[in-house]
Amino acid sequence: MLEIAKTKVALQELLQPHRRSGRRIAFVPTMGALHRGHIALVNGAKDLADVVVCSIFVNPTQFNDPTDLEKYPRPIERDIELLELAHCDILFYPSVEEMYGTNEQWQMDLGELENVLEGLHRPGHFQGVTQVLKKLFDAVHPDIACFGQKDFQQYKVVEYMVNRLKLPLRIELCPTVREPGGLAMSSRNIRLSAAGREQAQQLYKVLKQTKADLPRKTLAGLCEDATQALDNSPGIRVEYFAIFHADDFTAASEASRGRPLIALAAIWVEGVRLIDNLLLSP
Ligand code: PAF
């Protein structure tokens, strides 16, 4: 049965017996509006640990666009039902007041991760993400925390923070879950019309084409062609399309083709910002 804690104290009370019995705790942090992608994370977490804690907290400090925060879907009753069906053990569902004091400051050096792609296009976003995750990790003390590959740069940021602060937990990257047409599952997809969803499917098609073309095109050519293909698709505006090293998250160059590469993109469809990525080479 799903147990729900709205405060850190209540969460400690729920977790204490598990800790005392030496059970491993896996954590799935979310902002709610749960979909099959989140449930796959919960299922992945269940395979890795004895107890699964999911958090639902729409974190205000990671939204650089106030309209995006305002429009963020919050279907909590449905989320609870989905977590119950997935046999999640504990839901941590705190209020903003529970998580933040007044005028709290947070600044973490995230190196170049903050100056490229999502970091560049969403100033302050990763400060907010690391700020809330540090608080959530402190509250849950998980052995493992699970993150989806759709937010690959976020995963790299969390990896950086965990290493830098020497946090005693392992982070796990879980595969992106897609809708039947290939669109990566995202809480933001709810805001797309049926036509918008179909237009957005083009992103995964272009990512797959980029992977197929890798042996016969230059990296610059791949990015140009992908950007053009997306720009020419009805209803899509491209924010970026780039190829990076998947290990240290730096921009890839011809000289480093042999390293693991990942193509990443952000597009806009019907006023909704969507991101996706695909590993091009192992
Ligand atoms: O990926 C998300 O949903 C959020 O960025 C996270 C990790 C829950 C932090 O608020």
Comparing CA positions, the residue from 182, 257, 247, 274 lying closest to residue 217 is 257
Residue 15 CB burial class (10 angstroms; 0-12, 13-18, ≥19): buried
Contact (Cβ atoms closer than 8 angstroms) between residue 263 and residue 226: yes
Measured by CA distance, the residue closest to atom 3 of ligand 1 is 30
Q: Is domain 187-277 annotated with CATH 3.30.1300.10?
A: yes
Measured by CA distance, the residue closest to atom 5 of ligand 1 is 129
* Residue 125: predicted pLDDT: 97
Catalytic residue among 35, 38, 87, 141: 38
In three-state form (DSSP H/G/I as H, E/B as E, the rest C), the secondary structure along 126-143 is HHHHHHHHHHHHHHHCCC
Q: Is pTM beyond 0.95 here?
A: yes
* Residue 98: predicted pLDDT: 98
CA 73 to CA 34: how far, in whole Å? 10
Length in residues, the chain: 282
Ligand 1 pocket test, pick from 140, 146, 151 with the greatest ligand atom count within 8 Å of Cβ, gives 151
Measured by CA distance, the residue closest to atom 2 of ligand 1 is 30
**pLDDT tens figures, 197-247:** 999 999 999 999 999 999 999 999 999 999 999 999 999 999 999 999 999
What DSSP state is assigned to residue 28?
E
Measured by CA distance, the residue closest to atom 8 of ligand 1 is 30
Proportion of the chain in helix, strand, coil states, percent, rounded to 5: 45, 20, 30
Ligand 1 pocket test, pick from 53, 152, 154 with the greatest ligand atom count within 8 Å of Cβ, gives 154
| 185 Cα to the center of ligand 1, angstroms | 14
* Residue 282: predicted pLDDT: 73
- Strand-pair category, 272-279 with 261-269: antiparallel
In the block, tokens 């042999």 appear at 258
| 152 Cα to the center of ligand 1, angstroms | 12
* 3-174: CATH superfamily: HUPs (3.40.50.620)
Beta strand segments in the chain, E = 3-5, 25-30, 51-56, 90-92, 144-148, 170-174, 236-245, 261-269, 272-279
CA 121 to CA 159: how far, in whole Å? 20
> Which residues of the chain fall below pLDDT 70?
none
Measured by CA distance, the residue closest to atom 6 of ligand 1 is 30
Sequence letter at residue 273 = R
User: 38 catalytic, yes or no?
Assistant: yes
CA 93 to CA 59: how far, in whole Å? 11
- Domain parsing of the chain, residue ranges: 3-174, 187-277
| 187 CA: nearest ligand 1 atom | 3
| 269 Cα to the center of ligand 1, angstroms | 21
For ligand 1, which residues put their CB under 6 angstroms from it?
A: 29-31, 59, 62, 129, 132-133, 151, 154
Other CB atoms within a 10 A radius of the CB of residue 178 amount to 16
| 112 Cα to the center of ligand 1, angstroms | 20
CA 47 to CA 170: how far, in whole Å? 14
| 29 Cα to the center of ligand 1, angstroms | 6
What DSSP state is assigned to residue 68?
H
Judged by phi (left if over 0) then psi (alpha if -120 to 50, else beta), residue 166 lies in: left
* Residue 64: predicted pLDDT: 87
| 226 Cα to the center of ligand 1, angstroms | 28
